Amino acid sequence: MLLLVGLGNPGAGHARNRHNFGYMVIDEIAKRHGFGSWRRRFQGHTCEGQLTGRRTIALKPSTYMNLSGQSVGSAMRYYRLEPESVIVLHDEIDLAPGRVRTKLGGGSAGHNGLRSLDDHIESNYRRVRLGVGHPGDPDAVADYVLRDFAKADAVWVDAVIDAVAEEIGTLAAGDAAGFMNKVSLAIAPLRPGPPDDQP
């Protein structure tokens, strides 16, 4: 079994925030792969489906970002899962807009959602890091991630959502390198940056 977690903050006012990139992607994954209806469980919302024949629970914690670990920990205990069976999708300010990277384990790099997960489930889970860029000023980060994507970002944001949702089965099957290659190729023509910006 796989637990697929999208990080974000609940409520319509946060729906298009940069900090809700994980929510946005997991919604599309559930829709595209025919998961069941969302329902309230584990201090969040879950739905169930399959990715490459593997039973998969999608989870959106509704505890607000800095308490996400409570929801994820509750689901893991119920299903008796280890961190290695968890994939977390989250916004990443240390990646340029439109970049996507995967990582197994590591630190939180100041991300409140990841810090909460590390506190509750340890750190040896797979992360899908969804680049949103950095505002340039460390003091501006909190406001930056809690603001909506700009209208001009829609093309690359939608491309990231589409590519990750389309290729998530490759990652679920354990092929992180294959997932990264396919996603990078799909996003490259639409990602912001100079023409020679290659994956």
**Which residues are 81's β-sheet partners?**
none
Gap between the Cα atoms of 8 and 20, Å rounded: 4
- Look at residues 131, 135, 129, 128 and name the one whose alpha carbon lies nearest to residue 98: 131
Share of the chain above pLDDT 70, in %: 94
Is 91 part of a structural domain of the chain?
A: yes
Active site residue 19: yes
Is 199 part of a structural domain of the chain?
A: no
Q: Among 7-11, 85-89, 121-125, 180-184, name the one with the lowest average pLDDT.
A: 121-125
What's the whole-model pTM score?
0.91
Is 192 part of a structural domain of the chain?
A: no
Query: Per-residue pLDDT tens for 158-171?
Result: 999 999 999 999 99
Is 193 part of a structural domain of the chain?
A: no
Measured between its terminal Cα atoms, the distance across the chain in Å is 31
Q: What is the pLDDT of residue 193?
A: 62
Query: Per-residue pLDDT tens for 65-97?
Result: 889 999 999 999 999 999 999 999 999 999 999
Is 77 part of a structural domain of the chain?
A: yes
Please check the confidence at residue 16 and state whether its pLDDT lies above 90: yes
Q: What is the CATH number of the domain that holds 46?
A: 3.40.50.1470
CB 17 within 8 A of CB 11: no
Is 194 part of a structural domain of the chain?
A: no
| Reported confidence tier of residue 119, pLDDT bands at 50, 70, 90 | confident
Number of structural domains in the chain: 1
Domain interval for residue 100:
2-187
Is 127 part of a structural domain of the chain?
A: yes
Say which of 14, 19, 45, 120 is annotated catalytic. 19
